[in-house]
Amino acid sequence: MTKAVTVEGLGKSFNGVPVVNNVTLEVHPGEVFGLVGPNGAGKTTFIRMLCGLFSPSRGAGTVLGFDIAREQPRIRERVGYMSQGFGLYLELTVEENLRFYADVYGTRDSRYLAAVRHRLELDSVAHTLAAHLPTGLRQRTALGAALVHQPELIVLDEPTSGVDPVARAEMWGFIRELAGEGVTALVTTHVMAEAERCDRLGLLADGELIAVGKPEELIEHSGLTIARITASPWKEAFTRLKNQWPEATLHGRSVHIPVAGEGAEEDDLRTTLHGLEIRSITWQRPTMEDAFIALASRTP
């Protein structure tokens, strides 16, 4: 079966400055693949190369079997792209935006267009200007615009940026439904908690791919455990622990520190807090953010 995405040594530079560097990656058909990294990591540049919007500076790749450097129009016919800013025309209604994008993609199937509108629960706002929509409905309209030509791959750049938790959950529900129907989804995000919703992840830092795998595999690969310490007085406890472990963070009045393994540094923790009231030292699974920071720090 043809891979949805295959790239090898892919790179992109602007004015001689590399933004994406030597990325090798495969995305399987029908999976939800997350490209994860902080703002400025190169995520948007990478996916724009896949969508045929940028030409690569080096390397090679295919999307749905088509070459990203030579067959960009064929790729654009088969890929739905939802940009970070949603890419809607605010002076047009929801229906007009959907019809506009259908025209751009050269599709005239009004029944499918109505089905997309209904599926995304946009019927009641079909004649509302996009400028007057709340962010969650604007987000859904942008997803609809990316689906009007029945793409085999959808590329969603920070699709839940700036929306409330309900709209975020709804968007992930739609993504999962589409994947269940065989549509491949490539999602970028800098929100590590969202990354765990994906089937597999590629972690991108400074334009380079530092790790690929299932969320639980990457967390396991980080080799971390989080020490959770509560002590009194808590401000003094945090100050001491932060001085000893710069990566320590404060959560309420407890301190979280990534350590090498459960119990591995308990003696050091107790020594650092000598003279204070230690209420508890417990151990918990690291988050995706903890794992990303640990893996990025090991990259040369």
pLDDT of residue 294: 82
| Domain covering 220-297, topology | Alpha-Beta Plaits (3.30.70)
Q: Peptide bond preceding 233: is omega within 30 degrees of 0, i.e. cis?
A: yes
Cα–Cα dist 171/169, whole Å = 5
> Which ranges constitute the DSSP H helices of 62-200?
72-78, 94-104, 110-119, 135-147, 165-180, 192-195
β-strand pairing of 153-157 with 184-189: parallel
Burial of 174 (0-12, 13-18, 19+ CB in 10 A): buried
SS3 130: helix
Give the list of residues 6+ apart from residue 79 with CB closer than 8 angstroms, or none: 50, 51, 52, 63, 64, 151, 152, 153, 154, 155
Residue 141 carries which side chain, given as an amino acid letter?
A: T
What superfamily does domain 5-213 belong to in CATH?
Answer: P-loop containing nucleotide triphosphate hydrolases (3.40.50.300)
Cβ(182)–Cβ(32) below 8 Å: no
Q: pLDDT value at position 264?
A: 65
Residues of each domain in the chain carrying CATH 3.30.70: 220-297
State the Cα–Cα distance between residues 15 and 59, nearest whole angstrom. 18
Q: What's the predicted TM-score (pTM) here?
A: 0.86
Q: How many CA atoms lie within 13 A of 132 on its CB side?
A: 9
Question: Buried b vs exposed e over 147-156: b needs ≥16 C-beta within 10 Å?
Answer: bbbebbbbbb
Residues of the chain where predicted confidence (pLDDT) is lower than 50: none
Task: Compute the distance between CA of residue 186 and CA of residue 67 in angstroms, rounded to an integer.
Answer: 18
- Residue ranges of the chain assigned to CATH 3.40.50.300: 5-213
